[in-house]
Amino acid sequence: MLIRYKKSFEKIAMGLLSFMPNEKDLKRLQQTMKQYETEENWQLFLWKEEEDIIGLVGVTTSDSSMEIQHISVNPSHRHQGIGKTMIKALDELYPGKILTATEDTESFLNKCEIER
- Calculate the average pLDDT of the chain: 92
Helices 10-17 and 26-38 cross at an angle (nearest 10°) of 130
Residues in the chain: 116
In tens, the pLDDT along 40-78 reads 999 999 999 999 999 999 999 999 999 999 999 999 999
Per the CB < 8 A criterion, the answer to whether 57 and 88 are in contact is: no
Span between the terminal Cα atoms of the chain, in Å? 23
User: Structure pTM?
Assistant: 0.92
